[in-house]
Chains A and B, each alone.
Chain A
């Protein structure tokens, strides 16, 4: 009888203990799209965080499809399916920032993550005006940076005679003769064309704005209402794009996949894209010396276009402190930021992480950093989505030579004159 009592008591104690453990355990839900799981070691980050925080369970979710409508519905009801979201570029986040759905992360900008420790424009890409007009804040923090830059296939450059003293010969100026002379030389040695650019809805912004920024120092219209579609530089660049395509120098594609395919076959001379995507060629050739980087003429001082991938916390999350600890301790750790660069070429956002620990492309880092430091993100206009629709209606057509440069520039201005160009970012 007494043995039975002991047994029941023991079982009861076990039950209470388990219940206590379950109730005491905290769960941090971290969501990200599949590509982040590939290019940023989230599983390892979760394991490390759990080891450093006994009693905390990190629940990782791969979200195949970005479903902001569903999340907003949850947030309106005071719930959220995740506490931290790892990823998020500008235009994707604009609606939820305008809706004031994100937790301010200003208090995280201390210590190693102090504002001055971030790279040039990367942090600026996360600095927004408050929706109620009461100031500004950081609703997200950039943990990966991308910079638009020209990647060249070094073997083809050598064959084209554009390689001197172990370095690629840059495009000397925006002068038409010099510009096309450089590309013509490269074209003769490139089976798939001298230059690849992706002209989908996203990349067309970088294809157009990056070179303009290098040429003049800005890609914005003089009155701040949209991109520059009126200046001589705008006319010149769009004319060059048409000529490059017509002469067979420029191999334009309308999808990421087609652009990457052309570049990864190793038959294209140069590729204007995010530096990380350019590095993907190494995944095929397995030799980092197959790639070198160049800026457009003037980009070393005027910069190019950058964009970032950010981490953020929904305002209604009940695990904000834990989420902030995860971001600081794991997402912004030197190890994880450098892992992402060393394996996939994604740029760290903290300056100090560009030194020891970087295992490849060390000789290219000064060029990349120089361009990145002088660069700026695409503004987040209130009507950006509609603006992009208008631009994508004319700009790719002009680049492909289907409509005249004048028509394209005029139509974009005409169709977008009533849009709201208030930038929700702080400058």
Chain B
């Protein structure tokens, strides 16, 4: 009976296991192997194993990797701060509403259903140099000196992308945080009010500490999104322009794979990016460790 149960279990799990093996485990291990190899897909018959030499060379000597790291940081930091602060503020404010909570949730969640590429096109038009609405507004307001080609200027192009991606993703973080806020027992908040706490003090001492598990989940989500940036520079700044000012780590990995066909190096960049994400997520989990453990 037990053997039959196990067999049935295996039969039912087999398709999923097979899928995971073929489409997850194999690419994972093969790309890990590639990252330890030198392999030009167009000219070499097979990968040549070089160990960690490729990683060392990429980290120490590849100027485009360094440039992509800097761009990634320039993107990730403001994106993380903007997305996190705006969605937290909005979540707290919406939670205070007595009427129309659902309407605001839907409004802020709507950009999430639009594809990121389309968001890029939308912002490209919005920030267009001569006919874009944003520049038109600046001219109307008399700030003509700010009427520039936002995506055409290496100093501003990356931040244009930050705004576009933040606009799209704020809704999701907001929903997570709002769910957390609605889970805070009203009795605690009322007790704080009775004790004379104002809105800001209540937010700082009651709401935020109780929200930490949700802050952790949403911060990890925002962090991952701040690192896996490909679609927007691909669509809006035509593959990382102007110059290389919007080439991010994933975009650089793609360029290495499909423009230069250096599969080994591309895999190295992808694994380094994954390692950075894991490291930062680990840091966040430590930051929120006590609270998540207590909550669990």
User: What interface size band does chain A fall in?
Assistant: 20 to 34
Bound-state Cα–Cα, A68 to B260, Å? 11
* Interface status of A385 (Cβ within 8 A of chain B): yes
Complex interface: chain A residues within 8 A of B243 (CB): 392-397
* Interface status of A95 (Cβ within 8 A of chain B): yes
* Interface status of B231 (Cβ within 8 A of chain A): no
Contact check, B238 vs A255: say whether CB atoms are below 8 A apart.
yes
Contact check, B42 vs A402: say whether CB atoms are below 8 A apart.
no
* Interface status of A14 (Cβ within 8 A of chain B): no
Contact check, A258 vs B42: say whether CB atoms are below 8 A apart.
no
Nearest Cβ on chain B to A130's Cβ, whole angstroms? 13
Bound-state Cα–Cα, A95 to B43, Å? 7
Which residues in chain B, 145-173, are within 8 Å of chain A measured between CB atoms?
Answer: 149, 151-155
Nearest Cβ on chain A to B265's Cβ, whole angstroms? 11
Please list 9 pairs of residues, one from A and one from B, whose beta carbons are closer than 8 Å in the complex, sorted by A's number: A95-B42, A95-B261, A201-B241, A254-B152, A254-B238, A254-B241, A255-B238, A385-B259, A400-B153
Bound-state Cα–Cα, A96 to B40, Å? 11
Complex interface: chain A residues within 8 A of B129 (CB): 258
* Interface status of A99 (Cβ within 8 A of chain B): yes
Contact check, B154 vs A131: say whether CB atoms are below 8 A apart.
no
Complex interface: chain A residues within 8 A of B261 (CB): 68-69, 95
Complex interface: chain B residues within 8 A of A201 (CB): 238-239, 241
Contact check, A199 vs B242: say whether CB atoms are below 8 A apart.
yes
Contact check, A393 vs B244: say whether CB atoms are below 8 A apart.
yes
Nearest Cβ on chain B to A49's Cβ, whole angstroms? 31
Bound-state Cα–Cα, A68 to B42, Å? 9
Nearest Cβ on chain A to B121's Cβ, whole angstroms? 11
Bound-state Cα–Cα, A184 to B155, Å? 29
Contact check, A99 vs B152: say whether CB atoms are below 8 A apart.
no
**A-B pair number, CB within 8 angstroms:** 67
Q: Hey, which bits of chain B sit against chain A, CB under 8 A?
A: 41-43, 63-64, 67, 129, 149, 151-155, 237-239, 241-244, 255, 257-261
* Interface status of A386 (Cβ within 8 A of chain B): yes
Complex interface: chain B residues within 8 A of A415 (CB): 63
Bound-state Cα–Cα, A69 to B238, Å? 20
* Residue of A with least CB distance to B259: A385
Q: Besides the contacts A99-B43, A200-B238, A397-B243, what 6 more A-B pairs have beta carbons closer than 8 Å?
A: A68-B42, A69-B41, A254-B152, A254-B237, A258-B152, A397-B242
Contact check, A392 vs B241: say whether CB atoms are below 8 A apart.
yes
B42's contact among A72, A200, A394, by CB below 8 Å, is which? A72
* Residue of B with least CB distance to A73: B41
> Most B CB atoms within 10 A — which of A72, A95, A96, A254?
A254
Bound-state Cα–Cα, A400 to B155, Å? 12
Contact check, B242 vs A254: say whether CB atoms are below 8 A apart.
yes
* Interface status of A98 (Cβ within 8 A of chain B): yes
Contact check, B64 vs A389: say whether CB atoms are below 8 A apart.
yes
Bound-state Cα–Cα, A131 to B44, Å? 12
Contact check, A397 vs B42: say whether CB atoms are below 8 A apart.
no
Contact check, A69 vs B257: say whether CB atoms are below 8 A apart.
yes
* Residue of A with least CB distance to B151: A254
Complex interface: chain A residues within 8 A of B244 (CB): 389, 392-393
A200's contact among B63, B67, B153, B241, by CB below 8 Å, is which? B241
B67's contact among A386, A393, A397, by CB below 8 Å, is which? A393
Known: A200-B238, A394-B243. Is A96-B42 also a contact (CB below 8 A)? yes
A402's contact among B43, B154, B237, by CB below 8 Å, is which? B154
Bound-state Cα–Cα, A101 to B261, Å? 14
* Interface status of A239 (Cβ within 8 A of chain B): no
B41's contact among A72, A258, A402, by CB below 8 Å, is which? A72
Which residues in chain A, 361-394, are within 8 Å of chain B measured between CB atoms?
Answer: 385-386, 389, 392-394
Bound-state Cα–Cα, A400 to B148, Å? 13
Nearest Cβ on chain B to A240's Cβ, whole angstroms? 20
* Residue of A with least CB distance to B241: A254
Bound-state Cα–Cα, A232 to B42, Å? 39
Bound-state Cα–Cα, A286 to B229, Å? 43
Contact with B along A82-97 (1 / 0, CB 8 A): 0000000000000110
* Interface status of A253 (Cβ within 8 A of chain B): yes
Complex interface: chain A residues within 8 A of B67 (CB): 393
Complex interface: chain B residues within 8 A of A95 (CB): 42-43, 260-261
Complex interface: chain A residues within 8 A of B257 (CB): 69
Bound-state Cα–Cα, A394 to B242, Å? 10
Which residues in chain A, 179-200, are within 8 Å of chain B measured between CB atoms?
Answer: 199-200
Q: Which 7 A/B pairs are nearest by Cβ-Cβ distance?
A: A95-B42, A99-B42, A254-B152, A254-B242, A99-B43, A393-B244, A393-B243
Complex interface: chain A residues within 8 A of B151 (CB): 254
Bound-state Cα–Cα, A396 to B243, Å? 7
> Most A CB atoms within 10 A — which of B129, B239, B241?
B241
Contact check, B260 vs A386: say whether CB atoms are below 8 A apart.
yes
Nearest Cβ on chain A to B140's Cβ, whole angstroms? 21
Which residues in chain A, 148-166, are within 8 Å of chain B measured between CB atoms?
Answer: none
* Residue of A with least CB distance to B62: A386
Nearest Cβ on chain B to A260's Cβ, whole angstroms? 14
* Residue of B with least CB distance to A199: B242
Bound-state Cα–Cα, A400 to B152, Å? 10
Nearest Cβ on chain A to B248's Cβ, whole angstroms? 14
Nearest Cβ on chain B to A282's Cβ, whole angstroms? 23
Bound-state Cα–Cα, A199 to B154, Å? 12
Nearest Cβ on chain A to B236's Cβ, whole angstroms? 10
Contact check, A253 vs B260: say whether CB atoms are below 8 A apart.
no
